[in-house]
Amino acid sequence: MQTILFIIDTLQVGGAEKSIIEIASRLKTYRPVICTLFSKNADLKPVCISKGIEVIELNLTGRLWLLKGINRIRSVVDKLEPALIHANLFKAELLTRIAFYKKKDLHIGSFVNDSYAVERYQQQTATENLKLNIYRLIDSLTARSASHFTSITNSIAVTNAKALHINLSKITVIYRGRKTSNFSISHPEITEEPFIYLAVARLLKRKGYLELINAASILKKEGKISFKILVAGDGPDKSLFIHKVKELALEKHFEFLGTREDVPALLQKAHCFVFPSHYEGQGGALVEAMFAAKPIVATNIPVIEEQVGNGELAKLFKLFDFTDLASKMLWIYNNYDEATSMGVKAREVAISKFNIDVVAYQHEQLYSKILKESK
């Protein structure tokens, strides 16, 4: 059986990492092996082992990680002799492209983020934008080494192709998926207890938490509903958000849960899912909310509209507009029956587009096609 080698930065808990494991564990005609660059965060390694996936760790450290990694990954490939390498995330892709620049047919890359989104440039300082443009130049120059790319949405396929000067014919869109049976429909009744909004994302400003906090302040001042916002996730901006919540006296309305592995259970408990992100690759948590048939409030950005349509399956608010966000959150409460019907329709779409078994099969078919064409 031929080997597919997945190379990724780490096995920390994240959308790309979990997706690779789910896809790798479902390959039927190839043997999957996962190779990580850094071992510091390996929370998902036990999951790989439980699914029978071999994990190879390069254990790279320090500023010279790239130079050290070139020889180490070449040694791994010489030993494994994989049919194809699928690199994911920037550092893993950079290492793969440089190490195997003479073997273009051996490796493919992936687009999982809208790294060069206009919204990102708008929010950053001039220094941050200069740094991002340097990364973009390196990304563009080395991307020529890869024979093909996967993208988790059409939206980021287009933006990355434009940013990196890649022909769209070299990109295959395959959505991220979830296991359907992990999610069931639950629409809690509205009672005298607080109406529960759930947000699931890393604690980063670009995930829209400041807008969510300001929207909550508006809802509190209006005093029309009793509500609570559960936040599942962790990240470097946590202290900023907690400070903002205290500043606006919203402690009774927010509960920061940290990183959680029981998101399906949290979705069962929630009345509504809120996803105020500024830019995304796809939005795995959004897909999970669709599988759970939750009423959804999300940002009106192209990636999200690709998942839920232009208001057919979710209430969309204008990017950065926390007043509009508050209005849409209140709409869900006031029109709960209609909102839950939208959620049921969203689940039907999720089952047809984001079933993990279908996603894994699509990857397998792509690998076979690439290998056949490279002969």
Please tell me the predicted confidence (pLDDT) of residue 192. 92
Q: From CA 320, how far away is CA 90, in angstroms rounded?
A: 27
In contact, 119 and 302? CB cutoff 8 Å: no
Which helix (H) or strand (E) segment holds residue 107: the answer is: strand 107-111
Please tell me the predicted confidence (pLDDT) of residue 182. 93
Question: Please, where are the H alpha helices in 25-109?
Answer: 45-50, 65-80, 90-99
Q: Which CATH architecture has domain 3-177+355-374?
A: 3-Layer(aba) Sandwich (3.40)
Q: Which residue has the higher pLDDT, 148 or 117?
A: 148
* Whether pLDDT at 143 is above 90: yes
Closest C-alpha among 267, 285, 279, 276 to residue 321: 276
Name the pLDDT band for 311 (thresholds 50, 70, 90): confident
Q: Note the pLDDT tens digit of each residue in 317-348.
A: 999 999 999 999 999 999 999 999 999 999 99
Residues 6+ apart with CB under 8 A from 187: 271, 293, 340, 343
Q: Note the pLDDT tens digit of each residue in 115-135.
A: 998 888 988 999 999 999 999
Average pLDDT, the chain: 95
Q: Which two tokens stand for residue 116?
A: 């060069």
Question: Please, where are the H alpha helices in the chain?
Answer: 15-24, 45-50, 65-80, 90-99, 118-123, 126-143, 154-164, 209-222, 238-247, 263-269, 284-291, 302-308, 322-334, 336-353, 356-374
Name the pLDDT band for 32 (thresholds 50, 70, 90): very high
For residue 309, how many other CB atoms are within 10 A of its CB?
Answer: 15
Please tell me the predicted confidence (pLDDT) of residue 97. 98
Q: What is the CATH number of domain 180-353?
A: 3.40.50.2000
Please tell me the predicted confidence (pLDDT) of residue 230. 99
Measured CA distances, 142 to 62, 82, 173 (Å): 22, 21, 21
Name the pLDDT band for 14 (thresholds 50, 70, 90): confident
* Percent over 90 (pLDDT), the chain: 90
For residue 23, how many other CB atoms are within 10 A of its CB?
Answer: 23
Task: Name the amino acid, one letter, at 256.
Answer: F
In contact, 306 and 280? CB cutoff 8 Å: no
Q: Note the pLDDT tens digit of each residue in 62-97.
A: 999 999 999 999 999 999 999 999 999 999 999 999
For residue 66, how many other CB atoms are within 10 A of its CB?
Answer: 14
For residue 126, count CB atoms less than 10 angstroms from its CB and return exposed for 0-12, middle for 13-18, buried for 19 or more. exposed
What DSSP designation does 229 have? E
Q: Quick one: angle between helices 322-334 and 336-353, nearest 10?
A: 100
* Whether pLDDT at 254 is above 90: yes
Q: What is the pTM of this model?
A: 0.88
Please tell me the predicted confidence (pLDDT) of residue 73. 98
Please tell me the predicted confidence (pLDDT) of residue 105. 86
Give CA 18 to chain center in angstroms. 10
Please tell me the predicted confidence (pLDDT) of residue 310. 87
Percent helix, strand, coil in the chain, to 5, is: 50, 15, 35
Q: Which two tokens stand for residue 201?
A: 């994302």
* Whether pLDDT at 56 is above 90: yes
Mean pLDDT of 347-364: 96
In contact, 183 and 292? CB cutoff 8 Å: yes
Residues 6+ apart with CB under 8 A from 221: none
Q: Which residue has the higher pLDDT, 353 or 41?
A: 353
* Whether pLDDT at 43 is above 90: no
Q: Note the pLDDT tens digit of each residue in 210-228.
A: 999 999 999 999 999 999 9
| Length of the chain (residues) | 375
* Whether pLDDT at 265 is above 90: yes
Q: From CA 350, how far away is CA 334, in angstroms rounded?
A: 25
**Residues forming CATH 3.40.50.2000 domain(s) in the chain:** 3-177+355-374, 180-353
Closest C-alpha among 68, 130, 67, 94 to residue 7: 94
Q: What are residue 313's phi and psi, to 5 degrees?
A: -115, -5
Please tell me the predicted confidence (pLDDT) of residue 374. 82
Mean pLDDT of 152-178: 96
Please tell me the predicted confidence (pLDDT) of residue 40. 82
